[in-house]
Chain A
Amino acid sequence: MLATGPLATVQDGGRPGWAGIGVTRSGAADRASAALAGRLVGNDPDAAVLEVTAGGLRVRAGRTLLVALTGAPAQPRVDGRPAPWNSPFPLAAGAELALGTPAAGLRSYLAVRGGIDVPPVLGSRSTDTLSGLGPAPLRAGDLLPIGGPGEDQPVVDVAPVPPPGPDPVLRVLPGPRRDWLAPSAWRALTTAEWTVGTASDRVGLRLAGPFLDRARDDELPSEGLVPGALQVPPDGAPVLFLADHPVTGGYPVLAVVATTDLPAAAQLRPGDPLRFRPVR
């Protein structure tokens, strides 16, 4: 690991089943891109990948590796020459892979055949940035062990995946506490343009837009959260939870983003506009 950019972490499918003692699932923020990267190099579905936030990664191969890059396209270069995206390619022993800054999207994924083989914690190699479980965020100088290859062979040369588009629209279902917000809140959510706030991370996106009025002023007992839950604190500015969301929260959830749109949510950058539209 020569350089990490703003944040690079190890991620896999996360650690489901521990929510009862407050351990969130975590795992890759953009699961679709992470899973695609793993498939391109023929990995087992539970093999870990690198999640690179806002580019800037530089790594050197200790031996010849088969790798694939997916997610936010970030001008990949191997020893200065352009490298493919959404397509497996060999990285020769000693070669340096570098990512620039993504032109669109936020999170890029690097899969290595065999998977990133750091020790699992509670059954997962994912870094949970909220709880601190799993490996620490990566630093320059780290050596990343690579596991043995699985039985599957890579079979796909290139995956036709569109890059994250501008002005994304996320589909939402009514949340379990929609009745705690004023009737106008759902309409405001699904008609206004929202902006991703700067205090956004793997835990969630803080959104700026119209004030969402509550219908009730009493306090909601804390209750379970899911990725995609859109929670409205008393200050009216909603939080859209991502992979490292707290297991429970105490503010009403107005809406829940459809699971298939969570990868797009995970690619939004601070300052990006976004809209919500009800699931038909």
Chain B
Amino acid sequence: MPDHGRVLGERAVPYGDRAVLVDADPGDVAGLHAALVVDPLPGQVDLVPAARTLLVVLDRPPTELDLATLRRLRPAPADADRPRRDPVEVPVVFDGPDLADVAGLTGTAVPDLVARLTGTELTVAFGGFAPGFGYLTGLPAEVHVPRRATPRTRVPAGAVGLAGPYAGIYPRASPGGWQLVGRTELVLFDVDRDPPALLSPGTPVRLRAVG
């Protein structure tokens, strides 16, 4: 079987009485999402791809048949014909309230930390958390930091944060637990723009230090 040694079948568990959470290899999430877009479950209302999971929201309670179907689901082929896009350049003022803490946590001086954050091309792995929010992957391992122990009840729009292997930009003021290192003026989400989200999954991104 051309399965690259992976265990056949995903873990799929009911999530309350209107959803199923599927655990998946990070590389399979996009393909599983595509498979359910093409061939949805009966009563499928929404899909939420994330780092290692795909949440399938239904308009009815999940059944054993749903769980069996999702455990057997194979990723659809990735669309390899998408043309290469230029990176979205994000101008960032690096003056976030957690910048010094992150420098301390990573054992780097602030200028070196900024150089590492701006020196790598990042990619939007998936969305979620808020409209237009993209989880940016590609950060060097030495700048991976944990989330804050207590989330802030309000993080301002444009705040640039770090959490684990991800960087992210808050499109609008919201609660949040990421370590804030800077801010940008870029508008990430606009319902009158098509598509509304600037940082959709697969988009390359580069942070640029300004001001």
Give A residues with C-beta under 8 Å from B: 16-23, 25, 121-122, 130-133, 173, 175-176, 199, 203, 219, 221-226, 228-229, 233-235, 246-250, 253, 256-259
A-contact bits for B108-143, CB 8 A (1 contact / 0 none): 000000000000000000011111110100000000
Of the candidates B16, B49, B172, B177, the one whose C-beta lies within 8 Å of that of A228 is B16
Given contacts A132-B172, A222-B129, A256 and B196 within 8 Å (CB-CB): no
Q: Which of B167-211 contact A (CB under 8 A)?
A: 171-172, 174-175, 177, 189, 191, 195-197, 200-201
Contacting pair A226 B147 (CB below 8 A): no
14 pairs, CB–CB < 8 Å, chain A vs chain B: A16-B57, A19-B48, A19-B128, A20-B46, A20-B48, A21-B196, A22-B130, A22-B131, A133-B191, A199-B153, A224-B128, A233-B149, A234-B149, A246-B128
Contacting pair B177 A250 (CB below 8 A): yes
Given contacts A173-B16, A233-B177, A234-B149, A247 and B52 within 8 Å (CB-CB): no
Given contacts A219-B164, A233-B151, A176 and B15 within 8 Å (CB-CB): yes
Residue B13 lies at the interface, judged by CB distance under 8 Å to chain A: yes
**What residues of B have a CB within 8 angstroms of the CB of A249 in the complex?**
129
Closest to B21 in A: A176
Contacting pair B13 A21 (CB below 8 A): no
Instruction: Give the number of chain B interface residues (Cβ < 8 Å).
Output: 49
| Complex CA distance for A227 and B171, rounded to whole angstroms | 22
Supply 19 further A-B pairs (C-beta < 8 A) apart from A22-B128, A222-B135, A226-B55: A19-B48, A19-B55, A21-B127, A121-B191, A122-B196, A133-B191, A175-B15, A219-B146, A219-B147, A221-B51, A221-B164, A222-B50, A223-B53, A223-B55, A224-B57, A246-B129, A247-B48, A256-B15, A259-B17
Contacting pair B128 A222 (CB below 8 A): yes
Interface majority SS (helix, strand, loop, mixed), chain A: loop
**What residues of A have a CB within 8 angstroms of the CB of B130 in the complex?**
22, 130-131, 246-247
Q: Which 9 A-B pairs have the closest CB atoms?
A: A224-B55, A256-B16, A224-B48, A248-B128, A221-B51, A223-B53, A21-B197, A223-B50, A22-B127
| Complex CA distance for A195 and B201, rounded to whole angstroms | 39
Of the candidates A175, A224, A258, the one whose C-beta lies within 8 Å of that of B53 is A224
**What residues of A have a CB within 8 angstroms of the CB of B17 in the complex?**
173, 256, 258-259
Contacting pair B53 A19 (CB below 8 A): no
**What residues of B have a CB within 8 angstroms of the CB of A25 in the complex?**
46
Residue of A16, A20, A21, A133 most packed against chain B (CB within 10 A):
A21
